[in-house]
Amino acid sequence: MTGLKESPITEIKAAPAWKGARSKKRLASSAEATALNRAYTTRMWEDIANGESFVFGYGPMELFNAMDLYLVLPVQYGSVMAAKQLFEHYQGAIDERGYFRSLSNYESLPLGYCFQPDPEIAPYGGLPKPSAIVGGYMTEPAIYELYAREFGSPIYLMDDPHRQASIPPRWWEGPEWRNENLIDFNVREFEGCVRFLESVTGKPYSETRLREYLQRADEMAEYYWKITDLAYKSAGPAPYTATDAYTEVGIFETHFGHEWALDHVKGMYREVKEKVENREVAVEGERMRLLWAGTPLWFNLGFYNAWEESHGAIFVETMYLPRAQRMMQPDRRNALRAAYMRRHMKYTGPSQRSAAELIVAQSRDYRIDGVVLPARGATREASASSRFMAEALRREGIAVLLLDYSPFDNAAWDEDAMRAEVTEFIEQIEGSR
Amino acid sequence: MNALSLFRQVVENRFDPDAVDALASFGGRPVIGFLDTGFPEELAIAAGFHPMLLTGDPSSGTATVDPYLDLSVPSRVRHLTEAMVTGRHDSVDVLCVTGGDRWLANTHGFLEAYRQISATPDFGDVYYLERVRGTYREHRDYNLRLHREFRAYLEDRSGNVIDDGELAAAISLTNETRALLRDVAILRTGDDPRISGVDAHTITMASMLMPKKAFNAALRQFLASEVPTAPAVARDSTRVFLSGSSLDHQRLHEIVESLPAVVVGEDTEFGARYAETPINESIDPMEAIADRYTFKAPESWAFGIKRRIAMKVDAAVAARADVEVFLHLLNDTATGWDFPDQRRALQEQGIHVVALTDQDYAFDDAQAVSEKLAEFISHSSGEHNIMKKAEA
């Protein structure tokens, strides 16, 4: 038996899961990002409560932004649930329906709210009925179909085929290599999505407006690229660490193209540039740079600061801000095509080999001493690449730690054991010098 | 050798194409290996290839690939990759990986990355045939476009131009295979099943390993000569329907049928469903192939949960099952999202359901699974039953 019937939800709530330490941020821009994101989120939920259209799902954010459509990502809402120690509560509601616990993830966690709609407990007062469900860049279509059914909302599926027979070495450089048929198919998917959204939300789509958003999005991407290069490629210790970068993710992942977001990123660039020029560093005596190459521990961001004082070891990330370099899409004549091109396959590329090549190059570029990889792998695109990445890194003489953790289940997190593994890893690198 | 013995030998020898060739001649045709039933065998046959299902080996370990595959890789994919990198399928001329199931599709990436680590074995050509997960018009059109590209590849690889007449003949051949397999399915659904689930599964697997012409002839012989003289199997046994994760071996069938039970049907891709959805022979063959592979019963990774649940329930009811065993293999993240609805609908029909969750591909703890199923079958009360592997 699952055991859940023997463990009612009320009991689970009485024993809250372990909570992580607060993270350290060194940039004033990080505080600004938090404030901006909070203000946007507050306004968004107020508007939604007042009946404003919103999309629940995943897809091209620039398109939603250009159509004045709020987007609530299941993965984002699920991570807030987990951060508020509600993982067991909502996962318990899913389990009670008979779904297998081993299927659980951030993307599916909001289903718990569908099955147990309790506005008093849920983040932001719960989820009203979305105007539309969009399933794009998704792992399992069934999850989105269940959302559509439970909310009673119309759904548009956008499959995103990405694999192809061959990928050039250093695929992130050079001319476009993606198969033209594949691009055409995806653009047709976007066209269908636009018509669907116009129909169900009543919001108009303007190619000109999307082009303007994409132009600002590209500007933002260029600033993020410059920020990353300044921070990680400059000689000497870094001006910020992964915890500042993760704070910026709130802007990076959902607000590309907004004018206020562009202003914010310009400010962040000025701040980082100034810090580099003035040799203001995040951690005095930085002696080691570790790359966290998996989904962040959103419930425990303080984890990444834990070895700064003791070992002079900082964490940096490559999943978000450094990705900006690969997102720029200056040809915006067909705006939907550009919207597709700037996001598709930009995390790790479409294969295990492409992911391995990228992480080796990034580790070299950013002077990484050791890489921490998730032993269970990520969930999309070149999923299950960690061990091939590890193999490639070791061939290049870069130390690797494969850490077995669940990025969303804070109840399953063993802080002591995880810290011990990372400490041992750091000390091994120190010992090998 | 009677036909059933032939099918058994073919399945037992599936890692040795030369042995299968000796049992059912490939006629000198090069072999193209495929991994799931989304592969359009008709195109390969028309191009002069012998399409052959490649599977993992449940009796082997996975020590060779374990250092390279993340812990989240489903065990079926792990065993399949192990079979490939240890040379079990190295006499295959072309390997085609089809998209759709994200994990199975990852096999393509695993092999590409493994090639950088080891030059042996030589997998030969590895072709990736994408397949989108929905049934919208553009999805079907894209599948058609991909099939046309694959056709061009096969023509180039074989040096044979595929004409539409040959393609129509290949479609007739596979449709005949499906029709004969549906006759086998009917033998299972009567009051006294005339064929065991293990044998039915063996026959279906053999149809994906043998040349279709030879298979059809042998199956006709089996239906005409061997079935009429065979005794009914497992009279008065509990009638079991299998659902959930697809298995390309028959261990679960064997476990179930070691009990006073008989497997009367499955809705998994290597079971009775392989025989469904014949290809329309009255329209352009490429259009017909695209229709079939887009609109056939949706796998668990595909769009169409409502349609899928209805099909699964209908299949279990048509098989007149007493109970359903729902298998969930460890890390199969696509399978299970239908389960609660499927269970509810089946229970409304009086069919009790048990779920085996997080099981490993090889069923290393077969005894424990058997004991739990025996308990379920003897005490089936219609309540929600879930057995986790950890508790087995």
Inter-chain CB proximity A102 and B112 less than 8 Å? no
More confident call, B242 vs B392: B242
A378 — pLDDT class (breaks 50, 70, 90): low
Residue B189 has a CB neighbour count (10 Å cut-off) of: 17
B151 contact A CB<8A: no
What is the pLDDT at residue A16?
53
Residues of B in contact with A382 (CB under 8 A): 109
ipTM, two decimals = 0.94
Of A143, A181, A374, the CB nearest to B145: A181
Contact A342, A332 (CB under 8 A): no
What is the helix (H) or strand (E) element at residue B238, kind and residue range? Answer: strand B238-244
Would the pLDDT of A14 be above 80?
Answer: no
β partners of residue B238: B261
What is the pLDDT at residue B386?
53
Inter-chain CB proximity B71 and A97 less than 8 Å? no
B152 contact A CB<8A: no
SS3 B262: strand
B390 contact A CB<8A: no
Residues of A in contact with B133 (CB under 8 A): 141, 157, 159
Contact B94, B128 (CB under 8 A): no
Residues of B in contact with A374 (CB under 8 A): 70
Measure A59 CA to nearest chain B CA, in Å. 16
| Whole-number percent of chain B with pLDDT over 70 | 97
SS3 B95: strand
B389 — pLDDT class (breaks 50, 70, 90): low
Inter-chain CB proximity A164 and B128 less than 8 Å? yes
B99 contact A CB<8A: yes
Q: Please write the tens of the pLDDT for every residue from B344-357.
A: 999 999 999 999 99
Inter-chain CB proximity B340 and A98 less than 8 Å? yes
Plot region of A394 (φ>0 → left; ψ -120 to 50 → alpha; else → beta): alpha
Backbone angles phi, psi at B89, to 5 degrees: -115, 25
More confident call, A137 vs B313: B313
d(CA B15, CA A374): 33
Question: Across residues A395-411, what is the average pLDDT?
Answer: 88
Residues of A in contact with B71 (CB under 8 A): 375-377, 404
d(CA A328, CA A218): 5
What is the pLDDT at residue B220?
98
A1 contact B CB<8A: yes
Contact A112, A93 (CB under 8 A): yes
Of B67, B355, B391, the CB nearest to A387: B67
Residue of B nearest to A380 (CA): B102
d(CA B36, CA A270): 54
* Beta sheet of A132-136, edge-to-edge order: A70-72, A54-58, A132-136, A155-158
d(CA B18, CA B88): 12
What's the per-residue H, E or C state across chain A? CCCCCCCCHHHHHHCCCCCCCCCCCCCHHHHHHHHHHHHHHHHHHHHHHCCCCEEEEECCHHHHHHCCCEEECHHHHHHHHHHCCCHHHHHHHHHHCCCCHHHCCCCCCCHHHHHCCCCCCCHHHCCCCCCEEEEECCCCHHHHHHHHHHHCCCEEEECCCCCCCCCCCCCCCCCCCCCHHHHHHHHHHHHHHHHHHHHHHCCCCCHHHHHHHHHHHHHHHHHHHHHHHHHHHCCCCCCCCHHHHHHHHHHHCCCCCCHHHHHHHHHHHHHHHHHHHCCCCCCCCCCEEEEECCCCCCCCHHHHHCCHHHHCEEEEECCCHHHHHHCCCCCCCCHHHHHHHHHCCCCCCCCHHHHHHHHHHHHHHCCCCEEEEECCCCCCCCCCCHHHHHHHHHHCCCEEEEECCCCCCHHHCCHHHHHHHHHHHHHHHHHCC
Contact A193, A187 (CB under 8 A): no
Q: Exposed (0-12), middle (13-18) or buried (19+): which is A96, by Cβ within 10 Å?
A: middle
A231 — pLDDT class (breaks 50, 70, 90): very high
Of B267, B334, B273, B328, nearest in space to B103 by CA: B334
Query: In chain A, what are the domain boundaries?
Result: 9-431
What is the pLDDT at residue A137?
82
Of B136, B304, B357, the CB nearest to A100: B357
> Could you please report the per-residue DSSP string of B296-337?
SSPPTTSS-HHHHHHHHHHHHHHTT-SEEEEEEETT-TTTTT
What is the helix (H) or strand (E) element at residue B272, kind and residue range? Answer: none
Inter-chain CB proximity B357 and A384 less than 8 Å? no
Residue B152 has a CB neighbour count (10 Å cut-off) of: 11
Plot region of A53 (φ>0 → left; ψ -120 to 50 → alpha; else → beta): beta
B336 contact A CB<8A: yes
Query: For testing the chain A interface, which of B35, B77, B333 should be mutated: the one with the most A CBs within 10 Å?
Result: B333
Centroid of chain to Cα B104: 13
Amino acid at A265: V
Of A99, A188, A383, the CB nearest to B106: A383
Tokens encoding A37:
């994101």
Residues of A in contact with B305 (CB under 8 A): 141-142, 145-146, 149
Q: Please write the tens of the pLDDT for every residue from B224-277.
A: 999 999 888 877 799 999 999 999 999 999 999 999 999 999 999 998 899 999
Contact B60, B82 (CB under 8 A): yes
Alpha-carbon radius of gyration of chain A: 21
A19 — pLDDT class (breaks 50, 70, 90): confident
Q: Please write the tens of the pLDDT for every residue from A267-297.
A: 999 999 999 999 999 999 999 999 999 888 8
Measure A254 CA to nearest chain B CA, in Å. 26
Question: Across residues A416-425, what is the average pLDDT?
Answer: 97
d(CA B259, CA B99): 37
Size of interface A-B (CB pairs under 8 A): 148
Of A103, A374, A404, the CB nearest to B337: A103
Inter-chain CB proximity A103 and B333 less than 8 Å? yes
d(CA B291, CA B285): 10
Residues of B in contact with A192 (CB under 8 A): 136, 138
Whole-number average pLDDT of chain A: 90
Of A335, A333, A329, nearest in space to A209 by CA: A335
Lowest-confidence segment of A123-132, A341-350, B86-95, B98-107 by average pLDDT: A341-350
- The interface residues of chain A toward chain B in range 183-212, judged by CB-CB distance below 8 A, are 185, 188-189, 192
Residues of B in contact with A145 (CB under 8 A): 303-306
- The interface residues of chain A toward chain B in range 360-419, judged by CB-CB distance below 8 A, are 374-377, 382-388, 391-392, 404
Q: Please write the tens of the pLDDT for every residue from B140-176.
A: 999 999 999 999 999 999 999 999 999 999 999 999 9
Inter-chain CB proximity B328 and A374 less than 8 Å? no
What is the pLDDT at residue A405?
86
Question: Across residues A180-186, what is the average pLDDT?
Answer: 93
Q: Please write the tens of the pLDDT for every residue from A208-228.
A: 999 999 999 999 999 999 999
Residues of B in contact with A6 (CB under 8 A): none
Of B117, B87, B106, B88, nearest in space to B36 by CA: B106
Tokens encoding A104:
């659980």
Contact B246, B268 (CB under 8 A): yes
Would the pLDDT of A8 be above 80?
Answer: no
B106 contact A CB<8A: yes
Q: Please write the tens of the pLDDT for every residue from B61-82.
A: 999 999 999 988 999 999 999 9
What is the pLDDT at residue A368?
98
Of A182, A154, A156, nearest in space to B132 by CA: A182
Question: Across residues A150-168, what is the average pLDDT?
Answer: 90
What residues have CB less than 8 Å from B314, skipping those under 6 apart?
A: none
Whole-number average pLDDT of chain B: 93
Measure A181 CA to nearest chain B CA, in Å. 8
Of A143, A163, A376, the CB nearest to B337: A143
d(CA A407, CA A79): 9
Helix ranges (DSSP H) in chain B: 3-12, 17-23, 41-46, 75-85, 102-117, 137-158, 164-189, 197-207, 212-221, 251-257, 285-295, 305-318, 339-348, 366-379
- The interface residues of chain B toward chain A in range 180-199, judged by CB-CB distance below 8 A, are none
Centroid of chain to Cα A42: 20
Inter-chain CB proximity A163 and B99 less than 8 Å? yes
Contact A320, A254 (CB under 8 A): no
Measure A392 CA to nearest chain B CA, in Å. 9
Which residue reads 């459509």 in tokens? A69
What is the pLDDT at residue B387?
56
Would the pLDDT of B302 be above 70?
Answer: yes
* CA distance to A185, B243, B267, B354, per residue, from B325 (Å): 39, 6, 11, 5
Of B315, B297, B329, nearest in space to B189 by CA: B315
CB burial string B20-47: b at 16+ within 10 A, e below: bbebbebeebbbbbbbbbbbbbbbbbbb
Of B301, B101, B139, nearest in space to A185 by CA: B139
Would the pLDDT of A146 be above 90?
Answer: yes
SS3 B70: coil
Would the pLDDT of B215 be above 90?
Answer: yes
Query: For testing the chain B interface, which of A1, A5, A103 should be mutated: the one with the most B CBs within 10 Å?
Result: A103
Inter-chain CB proximity A103 and B336 less than 8 Å? yes
Which residue reads 């909310």 in tokens? A151
A24 — pLDDT class (breaks 50, 70, 90): very high
Contact A298, A86 (CB under 8 A): no
> Would you call the peptide bond into A169 cis, given omega within 30 degrees of 0 as the criterion?
no
